Amino acid sequence: MQPANNLIFSNTETIPGMTIVQSLGVVTGSTVRAKNVFKDIGAGFKNIVGGELKAYTELLQESRNEALFRMLNDAASRGANAVVNVRFATSSVAGGAAELLAYGTAVVAQ
């Protein structure tokens, strides 16, 4: 999923080649996703042998992209043109559901 706006984002504190003029505060984006039942059964079988659970890897990647997208939208609505120091956090909420959080500092950079 590509963000509609062309915001720059980076997990470094500065943006290479640009100077930060103004900080607009912390922006966050999060998603809570649960697996669909059929894929969960597949993962249950894969759990017997161990190794990578591809269904979960994909699920988390999709939702992380969405969390990031929401964070960027939040930043855009504040009038920022970049987000610096982006961090990810993950936690499992309840059986099978995972919360993905992306946060960073929205800035105006030139």
Partner 1 sequence: MAESVLLEVLLPVFFVLLITVGPWAASLIGTFFYQSSKKKKLLVREQGIGSNDNLTNLRNPIRSDDVKEFKMVWSSVVMSPSWFQQLLGGIMSLFGGQIDVYRGVVDWARREAQQRLREQVQQQGFDEVINVRMETSTLSRNRGGKDKTAGVEILVYGTAIKY
**Cβ atoms 15, 8 nearer than 8 A:** yes
**Cβ atoms 100, 30 nearer than 8 A:** yes
Using CB under 8 A as the binding rule, whether residue 40 contacts partner 1 is answered as yes
Using CB under 8 A as the binding rule, whether residue 36 contacts partner 1 is answered as no
- Of the candidate spans 24-32, 73-81, 82-90, the one that interacts with partner 1 by CB under 8 A turns out to be 82-90
| CA distances in angstroms from 53 to 18, 32, 97, listed in the order given | 40, 19, 15
Residues that bind partner 1 (CB under 8 A): 9-13, 15-17, 40, 43-44, 46-54, 56-57, 60-61, 64, 86-92, 94-96, 98
